[in-house]
Structure 1
Amino acid sequence: MNGKERLLAALRGGATDRMPVLSVCQYATYELMEKTGACWPEAHYDGEKMAALAAGGATVLHLDAVRVPYCQTVEAEIYGSKIKDGGKKQIPSIEKPALSVDDVPVIPENFTEKGRIPAVLDAIRRLKQDVGGETAVMGSIVGPFSVAANIIGVSALLKASLRKPEKLAPFFEAAEKTAEQYAEAVINAGADAIVIEDMMASLDMISPKAYRELAAPYEKQLISFINKRVPVIIHICGKLDQVILDVAATGADAISVESAVDVREAKRKFKENGISTPVFGAVHPISALLEGTEEDVAQGVKKSIADGVDAVSPDCAVAPDTPIKNIIAMVKTVEGL
């Protein structure tokens, strides 16, 4: 099997020749930029450079999937949030939210033609042509809860979620509909799968009750729209043990987790409840990939597999100064098992 066949089979619950290895979250590193000749900040804005850097995931790192973009600010930018450019070393971030919690969000017209979205779509088309025959091409979009946070500000969202959660509904609804349109454009450009990163829906930020009432319903609605056409991997940061069944209930085709999650216990709960959702992860991006040796990476991979993951992936975004030999070691370890 090639990487594309392997990952798509795993997402659909089929048999594979070996476990897939990918990076659900961003994997661009300074070393990969040097090898591909495509660097930040240009690779955030130029579709050709964005694709060239992402393609290094296949040609240099030998992952089973590639993905774009590299940050979580694309959607918020089209709403008018001010973006701080990360320069050569960092990803773009939110400098000033577009709206306040008392405003009424309006989905921008023809927004897939605005901001950096055309560059993302161009990159996906290029990836499909350049590496898509052998490697799965994934488009990453931001989950509704996190888009809302990027539009009104994290602090404002968290305060409202505790005091006046009803005021947030228009933002979640607009963010979900925006995500549907964006995902459709990404799929039409050629994506084989969609990654939803809903990082602010983490239990590090909100309570299990808030996740169930404010984040999960919109994730479920979005996933229902997308996975009629392509599989969906959802990634939420942090320790999800208290809501892992709720995350599975969103209908995602796979759940990407951090090593903070007790994968063994999650799989036990799944079995008890007749759930077959694959779990992806959970090689630590700092202690193993950034700071560890190739042997540390191998041990992290083996532990993740022993715990019950269905595909091996860094458990969150790869730090850009990570040695690529360690990412390659992640792949080689799985290939050698």
Structure 2
Amino acid sequence: MTGRELVLAALKRQPTPRVPWVPFTGVHIGSLKGVDAEQLLKSAELLTACGVEANQRYRPDGQPVVFDLQVEAEILGCELKWAKDAPPAVATHPLADGYEKLKELRLPRPEDGRLPIILEAMRNLKEEIGRNTALYGLVVGPFTLALHLRGTNLFLDMFDQPETVKELIDFCRQVTEQVAEYYIDAGMDVIAVVDPMISQISADHFQEFVSKAASHIFDFIRQKGACSSFFVCGNATPVLEVMAQCRPDGISIDENVNLEYAKEIADRYQISYGGNIPLTTVMLLGSQADNMAKALELMDAHKGPGYILSPGCDIPYNVPPENVSAISLAVFDPEKARVFVETNKDDSAAADVEIEMPDYDSLPGVLIEVLTLDSATCPPCKYMVDATKQVAKLFEGKVDWVEYKITEKENIVRMQRLGVTNIPTIVINGKPTFVSYIPDLATYKQEIEKVLKA
């Protein structure tokens, strides 16, 4: 079987001779050719050349053409903040002041924004590598797109203006379907609906606001003849079952979700599941042996139908290429990889790092520590940091805050010392307070007031 055939078979829960391997390479592919993320995401030529390079180096069975959840938002009027080593972040929200402009928004056309660049790259890569590699077209999910358009006020609106929120999400559903259709027409085998912000809501809210739209999207993709994946970064455990009920062909999750539980859900609903090689502790900061060992561990535990080996989200720009190649070796020559792991056992990447922790009992006020993957690249992390900035303004002089990105070894140690197991998390005066959950302003304020009165 070709790699493409392996991926498509796994998405249909058919037996495969080995576990398929799908690295979500994202802007990381730019590092292989020495171009930064902004250059990459604005050039069909570079997306093509770097995509081919990644294909040759990593021998994937499937790979995305682009991993950028801001494409649709940019077309709809969000201003972006660009970075050299990450996808852009949404900087402004067209509906921040209210929903009056919603009726003025129009569905994207193939000539809008960066869609011409992406569609050209898709057609190029279909020609270059599409015979043997399943190509993924990634579209932003309706809830995350709604949050891009409205901002964090969306969470309060779910209580105060639920019908208006549903109207917005239905519009976003139409956007997702429209862009998915363009990508399918350009030759994409799999449409991954990436909706990281659903990890921030309850299963009840998911069913109230997202289920109908998501189910419609996956039915639409199926009718168009493509396979689908429901992709969420963050702790999606509370919503994993309701995600599966939306009838995607598969679910993709990161290290915040127990893969055994994901398998249980996938088996129950007869869908595929993929994940969840840790992005930072293993891929970014680990050794080649660490990466081989994790890949072998996952493949040994998940040999049944429907499993796809992949990272938890898009691979960071600065991940050493040799680490990704190490996973590829484990996929294609597991016995050689086992020998390598045994002869290259290493201590934890952060074992030799020392850090100084605050004396939380002696703080003059409130210290908020936001532990993130990176708010510049991770939407849930960004909105958690935004909420922290907003609440800190209400307590000027009494509240200090800092973001710690676990892409740095020191902050992995800090995370361990604080007892934090999920990202993103808000820690208030040394106590993990909001774990993988973005509080509304009133709840956040109330928690700070409790600490100030203590």
Q: TM-score, normalised by structure 2?
A: 0.69
Structure 1 stretches of 4+ with a deviation exceeding 6 A read none
Instruction: Kindly state the Cα deviation for residue 43 of structure 1 after the two structures are TM-superposed.
Output: 1.6
What is the deviation of 1:262? 1.8
SS of the aligned residue for 1:280 comes to strand
The residue number in structure 1 matching 2:15 is 15
1:298 aligns with 2:292: yes
Q: Partners of 2:33 and 2:25 in 1: how far apart?
A: 17
Counterpart contact for 1:39–1:49, Cα < 8 Å: no
Report the Cα offset of residue 307 of structure 1. Answer: 4.2
Is structure 2 residue 272 aligned with structure 1 residue 259? no
Mapped to 2, the partners of 1:261 and 1:176 lie a distance apart of 25
Contact 2:93 2:149 in 1 (8 A): yes
Q: Show the counterpart of 2:142.
A: 144
Same amino acid, percent of matched pairs: 26
Alpha-carbon displacement from aligned partner over 1:260-317 (angstroms, at most 9, x marks no partner): 212223333454x4x2211101100111100001111122113323443711100112
Separation in 1, partners of 2:323, 2:108:
42
- Would the alpha carbon gap of residues 30 and 44 (structure 1) be closer, same or farther in structure 2, given more than 3 Å must change? closer
The match for 1:221 is 216
Residue identity opposite 1:141 in structure 2: V
2:64 corresponds, among 62, 67, 85, to 67
Name the CA distance, whole Å, in 2 between partners of 1:266 and 1:256.
Answer: 9
Aligned residues of 1:71 and 1:91 also touching (Cα < 8 A)? yes
Is residue 108–residue 178 contact of structure 2 (8 Å, CA) maintained in 1?
A: no
Aligned residues: 328
1:123 and 2:102 equivalent? no
Match among 315, 318, 325 for residue 315 of structure 2? 318
Cα offset for 1:65? 1.6
Q: CA 1:259–1:307 in structure 2 vs 1: closer, same or farther (change >3 Å)?
A: farther
Which residue type is aligned with residue 110 of structure 2?
T
Q: Secondary structure at the match of 2:90?
A: strand
Structure 1 unaligned segments of length 5 or more: list them.
none
Ranked by relative contact order (alpha carbons within 8 Å, sequence separation 6 or more), the top structure is 1
Query: Structure 2 unaligned runs (5+)?
Result: 335-454
Give the TM-score of the pair, scaled to structure 1: 0.91
Deviations 1:113-169, CA, capped at 9 Å, x for gaps:
11001111111000001111111111110000011111111x111221233222211
Evaluate the alpha carbon distance shift between residue 270 and residue 28 of structure 1 in structure 2; reply closer, same or farther with a 3 A threshold: closer
Q: How many angstroms apart in 1 are the aligned matches of 2:209 and 2:24?
A: 24
Structure 2 match to 1:243: 239
Distance 2:51 2:25 in 1: 12
1:62-86 CA distance string (max 9 Å, x none): 1112213232111011111111222
Alpha-carbon distance between aligned partners in 1 of 2:107 and 2:213, rounded to the nearest angstrom:
21
Q: How do residues 1-337 of structure 1 correspond to structure 2 at under 5 angstroms?
A: 1-24=1-24, 26=26, 28-29=28-29, 31-34=31-34, 38-86=35-83, 88-100=84-96, 101-103=98-100, 104-108=102-106, 111-153=109-151, 155-202=152-199, 205-228=200-223, 229-271=225-267, 273=268, 275-308=269-302, 310-337=307-334
Root-mean-square deviation over aligned CA pairs = 1.9
Give a deviation string over 1:214-250, Cα, whole Å, max 9, x none.
1222111111101221000111122223322211111
Q: Which has the larger radius of gyration?
A: 2
Deviates more, 1:96-105 or 1:325-334: 96-105
Name the CA shift for 1:270/1:62 in 2 (closer, same or farther; >3 Å).
Answer: closer
Query: Which stretch has the larger CA shift, 9-18 or 172-181?
Result: 9-18
